[in-house]
Amino acid sequence: MKPGDKGIKRILKASVYSYEGFKEVFKTEAAFRQELLLCAILFIAALFMPITVIEKLFLISSLFIILLMELANTAIEAVVDRISDEKHDLSKKAKDTGSLMVLVAFVYAAIVWGAIIWINFI
């Protein structure tokens, strides 16, 4: 186990690192900014829909999954790019898989949103 800060100091440092990560991704990743805007709009829409709390949680959690997968994809791309900028089959596989994670998250969100809208409004 590596030595380091403990307790509240560790939590505070981790919060700073998370904030720095958010700033960097927001500044450099257009896809994240676009998805964040879409998710913010849909989040607000979900809050005002006349549906159950559980349904709202499903809608909102599907949006968070999109953002989580985009962050994972960005991290994968950063690591691959850090290792080498030369083309390699494994680099392509890693990047394409990261992109697929985002697509699967969007499909899941579309299914959740479609089902809840269908059940409640159609």
Digit-coded pLDDT (tens) for 15-63: 999 999 999 999 999 999 999 999 999 999 999 999 999 999 999 999 9
Specify the pLDDT at position 4: 79
Per-residue confidence at 65, pLDDT binned at 50, 70, 90?
A: very high
pLDDT at 1 over 80: no
Give domain status of residue 14, yes or no: no
Q: How many domains does the chain have?
A: 1
3 sits in the region (left: phi over 0; alpha: psi -120 to 50; else beta) called beta
Q: Determine which one of 29, 35, 55, 70 is catalytic.
A: 70
> What six digits make up the tokens of 8?
């509240």
> pLDDT, tens digit, for every residue of 80-99?
999 998 999 999 999 999 99
CATH number of the domain residue 63 falls in: 1.10.287.3610
Give domain status of residue 13, yes or no: no
Specify the pLDDT at position 2: 65
Give domain status of residue 24, yes or no: no
> In whole angstroms, how far apart are CA 90 and each of 31, 60, 80, 97, 117?
23, 34, 9, 10, 40
The answer to whether residue 70 is catalytic is yes
Specify the pLDDT at position 18: 97
DSSP string, 3-45: ----HHHHHHHHHHHHHHHHHHHHHH-HHHHHHHHHHHHHHHH
Output the average pLDDT for the chain.
96
Specify the pLDDT at position 75: 97
Domain that holds residue 78: 30-121
Percent of the chain as helix, strand, coil, to the nearest 5: 85, 0, 15
Residue 119's contacts (CB-CB under 8 Å, 6 or more residues apart) are none
> What six digits make up the tokens of 88?
């390699």
